[in-house]
Amino acid sequence: MRGAPATLAVIGAGSIGGSWVALALAHGLTVHAADVDPAAEARLRAAVADHLADLLPDSSVNPAALDRLTVHTDPAIAAAAADLVIEAGPERLEVKRALFAVLDEAAAPDVVLASSSSGFGPSAFQDACRRPDRVVVAHPFNPPHLVPLVEVVAGRRTSEDTVLATMAAMTALGRSPVRVRAELPGHVVNRLQAALWREAYDLIGRGAISVADLDRAVANGPGLRWALLGPIATQHLSGGPGGLRHVLEHLGPPMVDWWADLGEPELSPELAEQLVAGVEAEFDGHERDVLGRRDRALRELLAVKQRAGLDAADGSER
């Protein structure tokens, strides 16, 4: 497998693909993007220009960066030009199987084929390839050009060299890769999010709290600590000199009682409408403004974490 990529192919020009493209251009790579929609190029270039303004706000190299982007309608052409391929197409298994068969035929034999899939493991589609050992999932978090986390997941036929090459490539792109050692629906972090959402929806549905107050509670409470250290590290520090051992001995039994009382909500039309109405009232039509302020705050938070020695790369398992 190749080392740090110099030329990246991004297959799919949607929001995730555009974010990958901007990240690669900001790191000096040449990018070949592909989307079967001929109208996708204009949308992609506009989105990438916006992302580059986030990534390179004080730089005059944005136009030069965009000059390193070539857009194709044929994914095979993009894959043939690259030394790393990232697929960011629709989350439909039949589409991924057909697409990876094409990419496998087009890409050089030592090129990693990585999927951005948020839920499928590589075993679901790597058997469509003649070289299944080079197929892996590299699942980013939205927006990938800002959020450092990438989950790297091997399939049953993925080689160890492919995993290590993918971890190294993500690190070279300034990401914080974590190795997920089991193929699970939703990988790991989406499952954690789903667990929180399940209980949040149940609490809202039973009238325990409003949508806005639940968001406020998480963002101004545990979310602040989780942004700096993970949930288990945070729990360890809350135990004082005894650390996690003390927490589990003294607060573990009540936590088990809470587990037993967690909800299993049905996502009924009524609950869905309650959630939508609540979040629409919370934003009051200002979603675009809040999104921009959130992304600016993300950049500032990442800089603070780095200065504090709590940046995302610390403790990453290789």
Count helices and strands (H / E) in the chain.
14, 8
As a whole number, mean pLDDT of residues 169-179 equals: 96
In a domain, 317, yes or no: no
Q: Are residues 150 and 206 in the same domain?
A: no
Question: What sign for the dihedral angle of Cα 223, 227, 232, 235?
Answer: negative
In a domain, 297, yes or no: no
CA pair distance 168, 147, nearest whole angstrom:
17
In this prediction, residue 59 carries a pLDDT of 61
pLDDT band with cut points at 50, 70 and 90 for residue 316: very low
As a whole number, mean pLDDT of residues 88-111 equals: 97
Whether 2 has a pLDDT exceeding 90, the answer reads: no
What percent of the chain stands above pLDDT 70? 95
Whether 60 has a pLDDT exceeding 80, the answer reads: no
In this prediction, residue 243 carries a pLDDT of 97
Q: Are residues 117 and 94 in the same domain?
A: yes
As a whole number, mean pLDDT of residues 168-179 equals: 96
CA pair distance 196, 174, nearest whole angstrom:
28
As a whole number, mean pLDDT of residues 232-259 equals: 95
CATH number assigned to the domain comprising residue 147 = 3.40.50.720
Cross-strand pairs, 110: none
pLDDT band with cut points at 50, 70 and 90 for residue 313: low
Q: Are residues 32 and 129 in the same domain?
A: yes
Whether 315 has a pLDDT exceeding 60, the answer reads: no
List, for residues 211-242, the tens digit of each pLDDT value: 999 999 999 999 999 999 999 999 999 999 99
CATH number assigned to the domain comprising residue 245 = 1.10.1040.10
In a domain, 141, yes or no: yes
In this prediction, residue 314 carries a pLDDT of 42
In this prediction, residue 64 carries a pLDDT of 82
**In this structure, what token pair is assigned to residue 259?**
């587990």
Q: Determine the structural domain holding residue 275 and report its residue range.
A: 189-284
